[in-house]
Structures are given as C-alpha cells and as structure tokens.
A and B are shown apart, each in its own frame.
Chain A
Amino acid sequence: MRLALREMRRQPGRFATAVALLTLIAMLLMLLGGLLDGLIQRSTGAIRAQPADLVVFSAASEHSFLRSRISPEIRARVAAVPGVTRVGGIGVSQLAARVPGNGPRDLVDVALFGYEEAPSGLPSPPAAGRAYADRVFEDQGVKKGDTLSLGPARTPVRVIGFVEDVSYSGAGTLWASPQTWRDVQDANRPGSSVGAGVFQALVVRTSGDASAVARRIDRATGGATVTVSRADAADAIGGVRQQRSVFNQIIGVTLVIAIVVVALFFALLTVERIGLYGMLKAIGARSRTLFGGVVVQAVVVALMAATIGSGFALLLDRTLPPGTIPYQLLPNRLIVSSIALVLAAVVGSAFSLRRVLRVDPASAIGRSS
C-alpha cells in the first residue's frame, strides 16, 4: 500500500488521465443528481410541507388531487378512526396567472392551495382573497402586496407574504383559505367546482404506527378512500417517478462508464507493470498485497475525482442564478455520488485481479533482454 501511494506521489502524471476522466464523470454525476433533486424539490415542496403523516385521497383517484374528492361524511369517518389525531382538508387549482407589471401574455403557472392545517412555514389560513406566495414568484417579479389575476376569470388574489420550498409539480404555489380556493375553482373551473365542506384530499396526523392507521382509515371508509404516506403522496405527483427513474438510469449508465474507465486504465497499468510485479513476487510479495495496491490507487483516483466534482457542484450551486435551472445541492447527494464513484473504482480495479494473479514470479528471473 505504501508502495502504491508512493508511486502516485512520484509519478502523478501516470494517473492524471484517469483522474481527469473520473473528474468529468464525477461532475456529470453531481450535475445529474443536483438536477434530479432540484426537479423533485420543485415538484414535491407543497406536499413535503404538509403537517401530516398520511394523505387521504378518494378511491380511484390514483393519488391525484385533480380527480380526488372527499365529502364531509367521509372526513367525519376518517376523523373518528383511532390513531388519527388531526385532520385537515386540502385542495388545489392549477391555473395561469397574470402578474401586475408583466406583459399581458407573460403568464406564470400557479397552483393555488386551500388549506386548513398550516403547512410548515405558514400561519393559519389568511382572510378571503389573500394568499401567501411561493418564494419562486419573487424571481418572476411578484412583490408583497401585488394582486395576481388567476385563470380565465381573472380572480384577484393579493399576496401578503412569501414562503420557501412549497412548489408543486414544477409550478409556484399560493396558499389561501379553503373558501378562497373554492371561489377560484368555481370561477375558473365551473365543470369541477366543489361544494361546501368538500376537499380534494385530507392531511392526517397520527399517533403510533402510521401505516396501520392508514389501513384502518381505508377500512373505516368502506374502501371509499386510498390513504398513503406523505412521501408516497409526493412521489405520486405527475412526473416525479418518471423523472427519478430516467435520471437514475442515466446515473447508472454514468457509473458503468466510470467502471469501464477505471477497468481499462488499471488493466493497461497492470500490463505495464508485469515485469515489476514478477520481480516483487519473486522477492516474496503476495498477489494480495500487489492487488491491494491497485485497489488503493483506484480508490485514491476516485476520491480525488469526487473531491473536485464536489467542488464543482458547490461552485455551480453558488453561481447559478436562482429560478433558472432547477439545480439543488444536497449534502447527501454529494456523499452518495462520491461513495458510488469509489465503489465503481473498486469494481473497475477488480478487473485487474486476474492479471495480477497470473503474473509469474519466474518471469522476473533470467531473460536477459
């Protein structure tokens, strides 16, 4: 191991190519990961902010707010289930909005939520015609006190404050009282207006085992509801699963490329070292020791690449203007990407094992040319 590390220090040039290639791969991994995290974050903020362990949809809604309806009778049955501590109704209308000061065709996508139980970062619902706005609207020119006109009916809603990380399905959100939401829905979506007391879904706090409570809720409503965890509700938002699976596939392919790069690089290096390995085996070095050196070198190369890649990710996070690319830097992502890269390096270097084992110590002695 000392031998392997010393070689890297004495002949850094030999490893420069591998470090450069793996650094590019690390950057790609962290960029992809950051984009995925950013996209997911911009899709799921509104659900993640809910003060809930469970979300209750109506049966056959396929976890879609749009299709789901919860009547006051169902709600009462849910509230009566043992283990349910708090229940709040929630509904959402997805519309285009006009921002004062912006051009008439310069519309922004808006999801207006009506809520009872305050999501994290929000107080209890504001008065009619008012709403708290997603911070992302600030980047689109919305200021506190502005009145947005929602939908074809141009329903006015006044912004009275901002809140972080509550985007929904890629759009910024407005947070209003249930009545404001019903008014907006009635005015702009007359076909799917909702009656008094009706919500699209319920957010439920529980005590004890949440999944057991979820099963009890669905039994208590006679199968009229489908109750899922908050995380599952977030995953069910349109596009989230697809984005995750597409990105994870690309990340997987990138890791395979990392394995191939490391495998090829160290295979070449091992071929170059056959004479040296033969000599070292002849004087008593075990194959295990020599192969260990290869793995150590691959891990060091991967760690260097991961470090530079992480630096790049941090730089990107600092320099990208907010509201442009949905790039989100999560410490976990950096750690997981680095570990994945190191594992890829270990797997890649393992392809040299057979070659190291096959080196014959007898090749070191004799053969005068």
Chain B
Amino acid sequence: MTKDGAPALRMDSVRKVYPTGDEEVVALDHATLTIDHEEIVALVGPSGSGKTTLCSIAGGILSPTAGTVVVAGADITGYSARRLTDFRREHVGFVFQTVNLVPFLTARENLLVVDEIGRRTGAPARKRADQLLEELGLAGRGRHLPATLSGGQRQRVAIGRALMNDPDLVLFDEPTSALDTQLGEQVMELIRDEMNSRGIAAVVVTHDERMTHYADRTVHITDGVLEGSPPR
C-alpha cells in the first residue's frame, strides 16, 4: 500500500506561522510525528492548539513554513498548489469539522464526487461506492439527500467519501463533535474498524479524551507543540 513500507506520515520539525496583520501566529512549532501505516493516532488538544493546522499540513492542504512532510513516501513539502491538489485527490482522505457533503447530491453521489473531480473511472467507482455504503450501514440510504439523513449518517457518508480514493492516510477533524456521546462512540468504532480492515493510517482529532481508546496511540498538542504518549 505505501511505498517500500514507508510510514504513512512523517513530519519533521514542522513549523507553521500564520501572518495576521502586524503579528504572526505560530500555530505549530517543531512538530515531529511519524505514523506507521495501519496506525490510528488520536490528536487531542484544547481549542486553538493547532490540531486543524496539523491535519491541513499532513494532508497537503497547507504548506509548512519550515520542516518536511512526507506522506506515504512522497515528500510533498515543496509541491506546488496544483500538485498538492492532485496529491490530495489521489492519496489522502478527509473528514472535515464542518462542510462535508454536497447538499444537492445524494449519499451515493457524494461518494462519486471523488471520481468525478478526478480522472473518471465510472463503473469501478460506482461499484466501490455501493460497497462502501453497504459496509457503512447506508445501503438503504444511497438515494437520500444529506438534509434527510441524521447527523451520524451524514458523518458515515463523509467517511465513505474519504475512503473512495483508497487513500494512504485519512485525516478526521473532530468527526464526532456534532454527535452525542453514544453516536460519537459508534462512529469512532466504525472509523477504527474501517481503517483496520483496510490497513489505512489515520489521524483522528478530538476534544474528548473518552474517544482516545479507539486509537492505537494518543498525541497531545498544546499551543502548537506536540507531546506524544507511547504506543499502547
């Protein structure tokens, strides 16, 4: 799956500075993190600590101010915006904190968006979408619009979409923050099972310490500085 058994993610001394007006905000500093393939890492930290920033850099949405980022053996640090776009489409899965689904597309079509924005494959993509919906317990909901789905179902559709491109790394930014505890646990369990069965590495951002036991390892972040806990 990953090139030459390279880790799914290797971040080395990554620094991210946002220029805001006259001041600069250091959102991430000396972040060094390696995630093996098939490993699920929980990223926990208070609001504004840099969790989203770390995910954005790991997934090639943002470029770091300094340091190197290697995803599945590909050093994406110096990639152009255009190349990063293509890289995200082909190698990374995202489940975002807020806007996730296209409101005028059905659940199934939201999965197929991944195929439509890239080099279209057609039938194989449709087959994969149907299979994912089935696995995620959405077999009967494929033709529903997001507005007619429950919060948990919507999040499951988003997870399905993140898996459509058979990624090397999936980044979940607070996937359960909009759900109640019980639903949140269900979704976390689903994430763990899906990742494990496919052998895909993942970063799961959460506020909630109770969710961390679904991960192989928990990394804490405070004011842009990482502080790892040893693998369980």
User: Which residues in B have their C-beta under 8 angstroms from that of A365?
Assistant: 52, 55-56, 59, 61, 94, 96-97, 173
Are B96 and A282 touching (Cβ within 8 A)?
Answer: yes
User: Which residues in B have their C-beta under 8 angstroms from that of A282?
Assistant: 59, 61, 88, 94, 96
- How long is the Cα–Cα vector from A284 to B98 in the complex, in angstroms? 17
- Some 20 contacts from A to B, beta carbons below 8 A apart, are A3-B102, A3-B117, A6-B104, A6-B109, A276-B102, A279-B96, A280-B102, A282-B59, A282-B61, A283-B88, A283-B114, A284-B86, A284-B117, A284-B165, A285-B117, A286-B86, A364-B99, A365-B94, A366-B55, A366-B173
Shortest beta-carbon distance from B129 to chain A in Å: 14
User: Are A286 and B99 also in contact (CB < 8 A) when A3-B116, A11-B104, A366-B52 are?
Assistant: no
Are B85 and A284 touching (Cβ within 8 A)?
Answer: yes
- How long is the Cα–Cα vector from A6 to B106 in the complex, in angstroms? 11
Closest B residue by C-beta to A287? B85
- The answer to whether the Cβ of A88 comes within 8 Å of any Cβ in the partner chain is no
- The answer to whether the Cβ of B34 comes within 8 Å of any Cβ in the partner chain is no
Shortest beta-carbon distance from B144 to chain A in Å: 13
Main secondary structure of the interface of A (DSSP, over half): helix
User: Which residues in A have their C-beta under 8 angstroms from that of B118?
Assistant: 284
Pick from A7, A275, A362, A364 the residue with the most CB of B within 10 Å: A364
Closest A residue by C-beta to B177? A368
Are B89 and A366 touching (Cβ within 8 A)?
Answer: no
When each residue 1-43 of chain A gets 1 if its CB lies under 8 Å from chain B and 0 otherwise, what string results? 0110011001100000000000000000000000000000000
Closest 5 CB pairs of A and B: A284-B89, A366-B52, A285-B117, A10-B104, A284-B88
Are B105 and A285 touching (Cβ within 8 A)?
Answer: no
- How long is the Cα–Cα vector from A3 to B26 in the complex, in angstroms? 38
- How long is the Cα–Cα vector from A362 to B82 in the complex, in angstroms? 14
- How long is the Cα–Cα vector from A279 to B59 in the complex, in angstroms? 13
- The answer to whether the Cβ of B161 comes within 8 Å of any Cβ in the partner chain is yes
- The answer to whether the Cβ of B100 comes within 8 Å of any Cβ in the partner chain is yes
Residues 113-128 of B at the A interface (beta carbon under 8 Å): 113-114, 116-118
User: Are A368 and B174 also in contact (CB < 8 A) when A3-B102, A285-B89, A362-B62 are?
Assistant: yes
Closest A residue by C-beta to B103? A276
A-B contact count (CB 8 A): 93
Shortest beta-carbon distance from B48 to chain A in Å: 10
- The answer to whether the Cβ of B90 comes within 8 Å of any Cβ in the partner chain is yes
Pick from B94, B103, B114 the residue with the most CB of A within 10 Å: B94
Are B85 and A285 touching (Cβ within 8 A)?
Answer: yes
- How long is the Cα–Cα vector from A276 to B59 in the complex, in angstroms? 18
Which bucket holds chain A's interface residue count? 20 to 34
- How long is the Cα–Cα vector from A276 to B102 in the complex, in angstroms? 7
Which bucket holds chain B's interface residue count? 35 or more
Chain A interface residues toward B at CB < 8 A: 2-3, 6-7, 10-11, 275-276, 278-286, 289, 361-362, 364-369
User: Which residues in A have their C-beta under 8 angstroms from that of B59?
Assistant: 282, 365
Shortest beta-carbon distance from A290 to chain B in Å: 9
User: Are A281 and B85 also in contact (CB < 8 A) when A2-B116, A3-B113 are?
Assistant: yes
Shortest beta-carbon distance from B228 to chain A in Å: 22
- How long is the Cα–Cα vector from A319 to B148 in the complex, in angstroms? 49
Closest B residue by C-beta to A3? B116
- How long is the Cα–Cα vector from A366 to B82 in the complex, in angstroms? 22
- How long is the Cα–Cα vector from A364 to B89 in the complex, in angstroms? 15
Shortest beta-carbon distance from A345 to chain B in Å: 21
User: Which residues in B have their C-beta under 8 angstroms from that of A7?
Assistant: 104
User: Which residues in A have their C-beta under 8 angstroms from that of B97?
Assistant: 365-368
- How long is the Cα–Cα vector from A275 to B177 in the complex, in angstroms? 19
- How long is the Cα–Cα vector from A285 to B165 in the complex, in angstroms? 13
Are A289 and B117 touching (Cβ within 8 A)?
Answer: yes
When each residue 188-208 of chain B gets 1 if its CB lies under 8 Å from chain A and 0 otherwise, what string results? 000000000000000000000
- How long is the Cα–Cα vector from A351 to B173 in the complex, in angstroms? 34
Shortest beta-carbon distance from B98 to chain A in Å: 6
When each residue 65-107 of chain B gets 1 if its CB lies under 8 Å from chain A and 0 otherwise, what string results? 0000000000000000010011111101010111110111100
User: Which residues in A have their C-beta under 8 angstroms from that of B105?
Assistant: 3, 6, 10
Shortest beta-carbon distance from B42 to chain A in Å: 17
Residues 162-179 of B at the A interface (beta carbon under 8 Å): 165, 173-174, 177
User: Which residues in B have their C-beta under 8 angstroms from that of A2?
Assistant: 116
Are A276 and B98 touching (Cβ within 8 A)?
Answer: no
User: Which residues in B have their C-beta under 8 angstroms from that of A281?
Assistant: 85
User: Which residues in B have their C-beta under 8 angstroms from that of A3?
Assistant: 102, 105, 113, 116-117
When each residue 123-150 of chain B gets 1 if its CB lies under 8 Å from chain A and 0 otherwise, what string results? 0000000000000000000000000000
Are B98 and A368 touching (Cβ within 8 A)?
Answer: yes
- How long is the Cα–Cα vector from A286 to B89 in the complex, in angstroms? 9
User: Which residues in A have their C-beta under 8 angstroms from that of B90?
Assistant: 284
- How long is the Cα–Cα vector from A361 to B87 in the complex, in angstroms? 13
Closest A residue by C-beta to B86? A284
- How long is the Cα–Cα vector from A285 to B118 in the complex, in angstroms? 7
Shortest beta-carbon distance from A7 to chain B in Å: 5
Besides A279-B96, A284-B118, 16 other CB < 8 A contacts?
A: A2-B116, A3-B117, A6-B109, A275-B98, A278-B99, A279-B100, A280-B102, A281-B85, A284-B89, A285-B117, A365-B52, A365-B61, A365-B173, A366-B173, A368-B98, A369-B98
Closest A residue by C-beta to B88? A284
User: Which residues in B have their C-beta under 8 angstroms from that of A284?
Assistant: 85-90, 92, 114, 117-118, 165
- How long is the Cα–Cα vector from A280 to B99 in the complex, in angstroms? 10
User: Which residues in B have their C-beta under 8 angstroms from that of A11?
Assistant: 104
